[in-house]
Structure formats: structure tokens, C-alpha cells
Amino acid sequence: MKRILILTAILATQVFTGSVAIAQGQPVPPVPVDPDTKTIMYREVVSEQGNPGYLYDKAIEWFRAYYVNPISVFTVQDRVNGKVEGTGRLKIYYFDNAGTRIDGGQVQYNIKMEFKENRYRYTLTDFLLKSASRYPLEKWLNKSDPAYNPQWESYLYQVDTTMQRLITTMKAGMKPTVKKTDEW
């Protein structure tokens, strides 16, 4: 548990410092787009030993370690039906001509985890830039849009990097806890 917290702190620091600097001038990784809905979606079924109740408990444990205020993230906690849903947020940044990092806004997304015997599925969807009105991030993928801003590539890079780190920590947090016996 302590290792997950330390890893999360390190990753959060990188998100808010290093990855933003790297994003300048980097090609945008291809963000996953659902072919049916044409929206950005990260989804995977992961095999992991455990019954739905155990996997649910591991997911709650991971949410509490990953998010600073997990209670504000949760929208559904349903152990009986094996489901956890929430609304996450992340900050995006850009740099002005002087190299000063400036807040580019806040991206909101939905996270959903579903549990079955020896597997779970996560889904990250509904990526929106919070502003006066909600702005779907899929608009940033259209380079032919007359309102296209090259800064959007940096924003997509930051979102993708953060989601990849979220997925990595989630998978690590869902692994069974290894119990060490104290042999002295």
C-alpha cells in the first residue's frame, strides 16, 4: 500500500511538471477512439484472480490511493452488482512565450470498473474540458477545424499520458496483496 502511495505521488509530480514540458513539440500519441461512438475511450478487460467482491475491494483501495479526495470522485459504489463508477478530473497546462506554465483548464472524465469472477473491466470515457460550457475533447482531434489550435496536441498528449499512468497504477493496485510471513 505504501508503495502504491509513493508511486502515485511520483507520477502526480511528473504529470504536473515533467510530462507537460515534454508535451511541447511532441507528436500526439493516437488516443483510442471508439469506432461506434467516435468518442475517446480507454477500455480493457483484465484477467486477475479473485471473486467480484475481492476485486471490488481492491478497486476501492486503489481509488483511495490514487485520488486525493476519492469521495468526490465516486458516483456509484455497488458491491452487490460489482461496479464502481466515478468522475475524475485532471489539470492541463500550456507554456507562454516566456516559458511560464499557465493553467489550460480542467478535463473531466468518467471512470467505470466492473467485476466478474477472475476479471475486471475498466472504461474511461466522456472526456470534457470544463469551461462555461462543456467542450468534448474529440474536437481536438479534428485538425481541419477552422478553430484548430496547435496547443490542442499538447493537451491531448497530457490527457493520454495521465490516462496511461492511471491505467498502470490501477493494474498494479488490483494485483493480489502478497502476504509475507515474519520468519525470524
Residue 181 lies in a domain: no
The H or E element spanning position 7 is helix 2-16
Q: Is residue 37 part of a domain?
A: yes
Taking all residues of the chain, what is their mean pLDDT, rounded to a whole number?
85
pLDDT at 57: 96
Q: What is the pLDDT of residue 47?
A: 96
CA distance 56 to 63: 11
CB 45 within 8 A of CB 55: no
Q: Hey, is 77 helix, strand or coil?
A: strand
For residues 103 and 128, what is the distance between their CA atoms, to the nearest angstrom?
Answer: 16
Helix axes 52-66, 151-174, angle to 10 degrees: 130
Cα–Cα–Cα angle for 114, 70, 93, rounded to 5 degrees: 100
3-state helix, strand, coil in the chain (%, to 5): 40, 30, 30
Give the C-alpha separation, 123 to 132, whole Å. Answer: 26
| Inter-residue contact 115 to 48 (CB < 8 Å) | no
Nearest to 123 by CA among 110, 107, 137, 108: 110
Number of domains in the chain: 1
CB 90 within 8 A of CB 15: yes
Domain of residue 33: give its range: 2-174
CATH of the domain at 119: 3.30.530.80
Residues of the chain with pLDDT under 50: 1-24
SS3 82: coil
DSSP-assigned letter for residue 177: P
Would residue 6 count as lying in a domain? Answer: yes
- The answer to whether position 90 is within a domain reads yes
> Does residue 38 sit within a domain?
yes
Residue 16: inside a domain, yes or no? Answer: yes
Q: pLDDT, tens digit, for every residue of 87-107?
A: 999 999 998 889 899 998 999
180 in a domain, yes or no? Answer: no
